[in-house]
Amino acid sequence: MKKLKIDLKNNFLELIPESLDDLWYLERVLEKGDLVSGTSERKIKGEEGRKAQKMIIWVELEADKIEFHENYQQLRVSGKMKAMKPIEFFEANAFHSIEFGLKDKIKIKKNKIKQFQIDIIEKAVKSSGRNQLLLVVLDDEEATIAEASEKGLKVKAVIKSGKQGKRFKEEKGKENKYFEEIIKKIQEEKKTMILVAGPGFTKNDLQKFLANKNIKLNAVFESSNSVGKTGLNELVKEGLIEKFLQESMLIKENKKMEEIMKEARKDNSMVEYGLKEISEAAEKGAVEELIVSDKKFFSDREKIQELMEKVESFKGKILLFSSEHEAGEYLNGFGGIIAVLRFRD
């Protein structure tokens, strides 16, 4: 997420989503009643006898419905129009929708910016750039190195091993040089996430080479049936790339849930369950951390946001978990909401 402006005094946000995750985050930041503006396409009635024409307009809406459509890579905001340019086509309170895609600027005017919304934005800003990972598919003949991002796959290098016949494994010098070239290219790309895959044992030999040379890379090793572009496409079809891109959030949320469950098993546990019980604790300023699944957040948004504001007023922390991950599913098993308390009566 690119943060262009956050004006807490005037409750104004100006942002540019750079990934699907950013659109997912924005769905959680936006709420009914927000004034949302951006460019859109609208049919403008022509003169009598002429067909309506499509025109690119700037429009400001009072948000009524907010929907993230992952398949279309869009965040759709619908509501009544409050302003429009060109002004001559403005229809006050006419219903309209804006579809925000990647790289589209979105301006948001709120009644009040809440701390948990700022936290979500900062999380998205910090994760910017981590949505790109490096892929390495290799066997004992060649390695293809590519960058995976929301825009697709871009091959950065193809490295040949120089293998001749069946003696490659016995010619350690050639194998070592092959691995050194691969590692050099990986390091040049400066990506924090690396996925290595391929058929046979070459990927395992590379893993051992890294360990023996004490070279630390944040790499995950998987199996694939092919190399080259075919191998890269296989990783896409098998869902390995999507899974890997989500691991950072997944690991953090799983660790947090493990910590909470460990605390819950204690005799004098400081973990509280249920919206009613947690709301009562929040009124007393007893909630240190409030953990909510996005499923619960959207199903009972008004009450949950009221609770979040109360927790924040006592300097409590808000964590919003995705229901698409294991930790979020586990949280939904407890009603989608858990709190860690500072104290009990």
Each domain of the chain, given as residue ranges in start order, spans 2-126, 133-238, 252-341
User: In the structure encoding, which two tokens stand for residue 276, read together?
Assistant: 């009613």
**Which band of pLDDT confidence, cut at 50, 70 and 90, is reported for residue 183?**
very high
C-alpha torsion angle, residues 52, 54, 57, 152 (rounded to 10): 160
CATH of domain 252-341: 3.30.1330.30
Rg (CA), the chain: 25
User: Which pLDDT value is given to residue 58?
Assistant: 94
Q: Give kind and range of the element (H or E) at residue 281.
A: helix 275-283
Query: Hey, is 51 helix, strand or coil?
Result: coil
User: In the structure encoding, which two tokens stand for residue 60, read together?
Assistant: 């400001």
Percent of the chain's residues with pLDDT above 90: 62
> What size, in residues, is the chain?
345
Yes or no: say if 106 and 194 are a contact pair by the CB < 8 Å rule: no
Give the least confident one: 137-146, 173-182, 193-202, 236-245: 236-245
Pick the CATH number of 133-238 from 3.30.420.60, 3.60.70.12, 3.40.50.620, 3.40.190.10: 3.30.420.60
Q: Give kind and range of the element (H or E) at residue 306.
A: helix 301-313
Rounded Cα–Cα distance for residues 61 and 5 (Å): 19
What are the helix (H) ranges across 13-161?
Answer: 20-29, 115-126
Owner of token pair 């010619």: 171
| Contacts for 280 with CB less than 8 Å, ≥ 6 apart | none
What pTM was estimated for this model as a whole?
0.64
Q: Does domain 2-126 match CATH 3.50.50.60? A: no
Rounded Cα–Cα distance for residues 182 and 158 (Å): 9
Q: Is the pLDDT of residue 244 over 80?
A: no
